[in-house]
Amino acid sequence: MAISTLKPVTSRPAPVPAKVGEVVPLPKRKDETPMRSLLAKRVVARLRAVAVTVIPPLLVVAVIMLVWQIAFGRPGSSLPAPTTIWQEAKDLILEPFFVAGPQDIGLGWRVLTSLQRVMIGFGLAAVVGVMLGALVGQSVWAMRGLDPIFQVLRTVPPLAWLPISLAAFRDANPSAIFVIFITAIWPVIINTAVGIRNIPQDYRNVARVLQLNTVEFFFKIMVPSAAPYIFTGLRIGIGLSWLAIVAAEMLTGGVGIGFFIWDAWNSSKLSDIIVALAYIGLVGFALDRLVAMLGAFVTRGTSAQ
Amino acid sequence: MTDYLKLDHLDKTFQRGGQVTEVLKDINLVIDCHEFVSIIGHSGCGKSTLLNLIAGLTQVTMGAVLLENREVNAPGPERAVVFQNHSLLPWLTVYENVKLAVDKVFSGRKSKAERHDWIMQNLDLVQMGHAKDKRPNEISGGMKQRVGIARALAMEPKILLLDEPFGALDALTRAHLQDSVMDIHARLKNTMIMITHDVDEAVLLSDRIVMMTNGPAATIGEVLTVPLARPRHRLELVSDPRYVGAREAVLRFLYERHRFVEAA
């Protein structure tokens, strides 16, 4: 019985066209490319990748410039056209670091002065923010006590702090720095706290078995584990700082990109203002990328579990 | 003779809101030095909770855990844990993960060079010395668990606690790691307590198997002594009547007398 049922299977012809044991050679590759053309190919590929990211924004900028030129190119229009800006503010665009007098300096210097304030204020905010965030994230009672206060204070606009800090510090520079600090600290605190709360219980257990003390736990488990969250907070914070410094400097005066805009407005130099806006935008973009890159470098390996 | 590890009338209840859940009730067990004990039971019977009580990660409600006649109620490196999901810190390399433990436990007792040798010795013990500079996300699940074991062993624990160490691994890797653990146990003579839900694993590795009843208020149902000489070889044991008998005893306990009742 068994043999008869097996029979049709064995009698079926094998669907193999080639002879048994024959080696079928793979078709030869036609283009055995030499080394040099391979390198050239790679360079072309890299150039193409760069072009794909660079050309579209350049095209859009060109279109905007053209529309702008057409819209404001007539004599007597309310805003300067790109060609007018080039004529009036050529020195500001081409020479960021000239010094021609105490108040007549290149925009590069002004940006650096503003950046210095931002760095101090933001640096303080980062350190204090991470520590407060760790406290709020770690302790239920600290969260209950502090979180509502943070939620209220963080909605206060940066400039609303300025009069009170001017009264407290009696000087423009520390007041501006304080405004940066108070603007940047909230996202750092809140994101750090979320990051600390999201530390997996497993890591906490490891720390407990090893009997890590508070300081060791902070540096070896908390900060690295919450690093992606902390850097999100820092990134938001530096963006807000840069937003706030311009506004603060407009009011406090002195050297700085914000005051430059106010000064230019008072002397009706609209072209200078537009150049300054471009500077602020580019520097803000650079700051954001810088923190993002730093974050990507520091948290490499952490995000991928 | 004094008891090495003694679980003395352990009760554990969890309170959530006004609701009190009794998880473990009246657990009594004495474990000798160098012994390998498995704790087996259906999921949800509280076996992981029991391990956490021994580790000190969870506080006992009543009763006491006594290690060499001293009560332990906080975690410590003398009761090292191999966690179910390896729990390696992803921002540290394999070497640094073990180093964190070694630096903490042996600071002041070993010089820097000695600590380095000790780290490498433990990584080599689990055959992971070659991957010391890799990060956890660059190595396989089995390798991560090996590093987890190396980290625990590097603490030179009195008791090694293994919480379903091979649960997340495929069958072949698991068999390989079981052999490694047997080999380590034979060489270092550690006292080991392993949580498992794998009957074969329990019989193969253990001197004694502790079988838990179903929760709530789970307790120790039976303790089976595995009458197999060491070293044990997986292939030879398959047809060994004592192995088959032990296996059957555990299966009968789990599927006849304490069948898992699904929560309706």
Q: Does residue A271 sit within a domain?
A: yes
Chain A residue at shortest CA distance from B88: A203
Element (H, E) at B37: strand B36-40
pTM over 0.95: no
Is the predicted pLDDT of residue A1 greater than 60, yes or no? no
Chain A CB contacts of B83 under 8 Å are: 202, 205-206
Q: Does residue A260 sit within a domain?
A: yes
Is the predicted pLDDT of residue A233 greater than 80, yes or no? yes
Q: Does residue A175 sit within a domain?
A: yes
Angle made by CA atoms A8, A9, A15, in degrees to the nearest 5 = 115
**CATH number where A288 lies:** 1.10.3720.10
Chain B CB contacts of A220 under 8 Å are: 89, 100
Q: In this prediction, what percent of chain A has a pLDDT beyond 70?
A: 89
Q: How far apart are the first and last CA of chain B?
A: 47
**Single-letter code of the amino acid located at B92:** L
What is the value of ipTM here, to two decimals? 0.87
Q: Does residue A69 sit within a domain?
A: no
Chain B CB contacts of A216 under 8 Å are: 104
CB-closest option in A200, A203, A211 to B104: A211
- Closest of A106, A110, A118, A109 to residue A245, by C-alpha: A118
- Distance in angstroms (rounded) separating the CA atoms of residues B240 and A9: 40
Q: Does residue A84 sit within a domain?
A: no
Chain B CB contacts of A302 under 8 Å are: 90-91
Q: A219 at the B interface (CB within 8 A)?
A: no
pLDDT block averages, 10 residues each, chain B of length 264: 82 87 90 93 87 92 90 90 89 93 90 93 91 91 92 92 88 89 90 92 93 86 89 88 92 82 52
Q: Does residue A172 sit within a domain?
A: yes
- Distance in angstroms (rounded) separating the CA atoms of residues B63 and A104: 81
pLDDT at A89: 84
Cis peptide before A158 (omega within 30 of 0): no
Q: Number of folded domains in chain A?
A: 1
Is the predicted pLDDT of residue A2 greater than 50, yes or no? no
Is the predicted pLDDT of residue A7 greater than 70, yes or no? no
Question: Is residue B11 classed as helix, strand or coil in its secondary structure?
Answer: strand
- Distance in angstroms (rounded) separating the CA atoms of residues B148 and B98: 8
The pair of structure tokens assigned to A43 is 């360079």
- The boundaries of the domain holding residue A265 are 107-299
Q: What is the DSSP string of A49-109?
A: HHHHHHHHHHHHHHHHHHHHHHHH-STT-SS--HHHHHHHSHHHHH-TT-BSSSS-B-HHH
Q: Does residue A99 sit within a domain?
A: no
Is the predicted pLDDT of residue A8 greater than 50, yes or no? no
Q: A302 at the B interface (CB within 8 A)?
A: yes
Q: What is the DSSP letter of B69?
A: T
Q: Does residue A183 sit within a domain?
A: yes
